[in-house]
């Protein structure tokens, strides 16, 4: 084989064997598919689920994870009023200007503040969390392989007690859906640990579904607008097509009868 052909083939073989090696440490099956309302070219987020998802983020995930791409003001996108936004921001203190003696201070949060990590930096977070910092959640739903189906499987995939043959690693928890089945994040959801104001029972599955919807929204907040424009464009094109057919028929009718 000439070398100029041989090289790409060898490259491909190496890439294939590397991806095979990477897959070997992943959970063996793909996460089960869930029916998500936001899927597909016309899918829309369910606003109630987004608001419940934010409650889960605010009460649970945000105690360890940040979502830095988002400001509190952006929560208008899930239907929070300006007053709700101001109240929500206020309860998360932010670093303020140094005082007269140059000492760091804290101030109440403002709508323009970002949903910052509760830790001062990643090294501090890693030190507190047994070695690995909780990743920022801004784009998690897009960047993590498996997307929303994996997030849901992962959040509902802790096993307590772990299977009898699982290794015991201090500070790590058994989850069906992470590589090596061990993760430093304790199971974050429990049945009924929060109360939803709309009365929806807060089961682990429901909370997982709502926080996943919120994480997908955070990574792609303009999907509803885009899909609504898509629908309007399709309707416009259908009308245009009907007119074009009618016009064509009219012209050809005249040609045939003359």
Q: Which residues lie near ligand HEC (CB under 6 A)?
A: 56, 60-61, 63-65, 129, 132, 134-135, 140, 144, 151, 154-155, 178, 183-186, 188-189, 211
Q: How far is the CB of 54 from ligand HEC (least distance, A)?
A: 11
Q: Which of 75, 79, 97, 106 is nearest to 88 (CA)?
A: 75
| Token pair for 63 | 């105690």
Kindly report whether the peptide bond that precedes residue 134 is cis, defined as omega within 30 degrees of 0. Answer: no
Q: How far is the CB of 129 from ligand HEC (least distance, A)?
A: 4
The Cβ-side half-sphere exposure at 32, using a 13 Å CA radius, reads 7
Q: How far is the CB of 108 from ligand HEC (least distance, A)?
A: 23
Q: Which is nearer to ligand HEC, 111 or 184 (CB)?
A: 184
Q: Which is nearer to ligand HEC, 124 or 251 (CB)?
A: 124
Q: Which is nearer to ligand HEC, 86 or 173 (CB)?
A: 173
Residues 6+ apart with CB under 8 A from 196: 52, 55, 202
Q: Which of 133, 154, 126, 159 is nearest to 211 (CA)?
A: 154
Q: How far is the CB of 185 from ligand HEC (least distance, A)?
A: 3
Q: Which is nearer to ligand HEC, 81 or 121 (CB)?
A: 121
């Amino acid at each position: 084989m000439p070398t100029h052909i041989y090289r790409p083939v060898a490259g491909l073989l190496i890439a294939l064997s590397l991806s095979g090696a990477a897959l070997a440490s992943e959970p063996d099956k793909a996460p089960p598919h869930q029916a998500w309302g936001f899927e597909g070219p016309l899918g829309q987020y369910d606003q109630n689920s987004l608001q419940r998802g934010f409650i889960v983020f605010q009460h649970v995930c945000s105690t360890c994870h940040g979502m830095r791409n988002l400001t509190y003001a952006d929560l208008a996108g899930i239907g929070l009023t300006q007053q709700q936004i101001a109240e929500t921001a206020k309860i998360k203190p932010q670093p303020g200007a140094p005082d007269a003696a140059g000492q760091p201070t804290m101030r109440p949060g403002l709508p323009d503040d970002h949903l910052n990590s509760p830790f001062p930096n990643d090294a501090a977070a890693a030190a507190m969390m047994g070695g690995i910092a909780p990743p920022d959640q801004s784009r998690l739903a897009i960047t993590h392989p498996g997307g929303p189906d994996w997030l849901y499987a992962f959040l509902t995939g802790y096993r307590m007690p772990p299977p009898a043959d699982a290794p015991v690693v201090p500070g790590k928890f058994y989850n069906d859906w992470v590589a090596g089945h061990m993760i430093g994040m304790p199971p974050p959801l429990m049945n009924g640990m929060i109360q939803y104001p709309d009365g929806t029972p807060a089961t682990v599955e429901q909370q997982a579904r709502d926080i996943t919807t919120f994480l997908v929204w955070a990574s792609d907040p303009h999907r509803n607008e885009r899909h609504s424009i898509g629908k309007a464009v399709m309707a416009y094109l259908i009308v245009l097509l009907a007119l074009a057919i009618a016009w064509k028929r009219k012209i050809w009718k005249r040609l045939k009868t003359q």
